[in-house]
Amino acid sequence: MVDFVEINNAKLAYQLCGPDHAPLIITLHGGRGFGDHRSDYKAYSPLCDKYRVLSFDYRGHGKSSPTKPYTFDQIVDDIEAIRAKFAGSEKAIICGGSFGGFLAQHYAIKYPDNLSHLILRGTAPSYHQEEDAIKVLEQRVHKAPSFSVEMLKEKVFGAFQSDLEFQLVHLAMMPLYSEIFDANAALASCLNNMYNAESHNDLYNEEQKYFDYREKLPLIKAKTLVVVGSEDWICPVQHSEYIAAKIPGAELFVVKEANHSVHLEKNAEVLTRIRSHLST
């Protein structure tokens, strides 16, 4: 059941499970302007036997209020306010994938003392990931015949003219995300998603687009696990390798025969590695 919490003048939708007073895991979903907490909650809620798992929609996403501004820094401040509200003075565990991984790195750099563990899934340390995603798409575009390199460059990494255009482009690119594609499930997912072109476009504007954490990764204090599918198309594996090499003591877990949705495709493997990571 979805609940709502007032955070920094925004009303944020969230789900929470797990034992009272257990360590808090905050999951950060992917998708600028179209993602929401549901797939992460589905993937990580089995950890509720030992941890509290909190998954929420960012402002301007899912069922949360369309409260501006839509910026990396504002969302990261929202994450910190959620940590303070639900964990008090205790450190949290942050688990972020894709765009959520960008935010997780941002949080770990901005609030290093409020984080015990960092889990990154299928993400990148800078906007340079886009160049490599374009190269991969050029090789795999046959897998998504209704999608194009131009759509990736100008729409996904640029701006949408409407929520409907956003939805149609997302449906066209869905075959790229998993090694085994289910067209019926993809259609159902896109019909069930909420698309906000305005929040997407703001989060890809000139100020937000060119994020780069590479020089600050060595400053991250949290015990870090970096998970990536070997076939990840939009955040290719070399970006996770770079992150793991730069964060002191970070562990890299490359999951074979998995794509960007590795936490769904190989859920049991990912959860086993996360449990091991959190227990040490």
Query: What tens digit of pLDDT does each residue of 102-140 get?
Result: 999 999 999 999 999 999 999 999 999 999 999 999 999
Average pLDDT, stretch 94-99?
98
If residue 47 lies in a helix (H) or strand (E), which one and from where to where?
none
pLDDT higher than 90, residue 160: yes
Distance CA(113)–CA(242), nearest Å, equals 23
Residues 119 and 251 reside in one and the same domain: yes
Residues 19 and 89 reside in one and the same domain: yes
Residues 172 and 217 reside in one and the same domain: no
- Assess contact for 57 and 36: CB atoms under 8 A: yes
Residues 106 and 245 reside in one and the same domain: yes
Residues 45 and 177 reside in one and the same domain: no
| CATH value at residue 33 | 3.40.50.1820
| Chosen domain end from 203, 233, 261 | 203
Number of domains in the chain: 2
| Chosen domain end from 152, 186, 203 | 203
Bridge partners of residue 119, in order along the sequence:
95, 225
pTM of the full predicted structure? 0.97
Residues 236 and 123 reside in one and the same domain: yes
Name the pLDDT band for 226 (thresholds 50, 70, 90). very high
Residues 261 and 145 reside in one and the same domain: no
What is the structure's pLDDT at 280?
81
| Chosen domain end from 168, 203, 238 | 203
pLDDT higher than 90, residue 5: yes
Residues 8 and 102 reside in one and the same domain: yes
CB-facing half-sphere around the CA of 92: CA atoms within 13 A: 27
pLDDT higher than 90, residue 66: yes
3-state secondary structure of 253: strand
Residues 62 and 168 reside in one and the same domain: no
Identify the domain containing residue 95 by its residue range.
3-127+211-278
Residues 139 and 109 reside in one and the same domain: no
Return the residue matching tokens 């998603």: 193
**Cβ-Cβ contacts under 8 Å for 268 (sequence gap 6 or more):** none
Residues 23 and 123 reside in one and the same domain: yes
Residues 110 and 226 reside in one and the same domain: yes
What is the structure's pLDDT at 272?
98
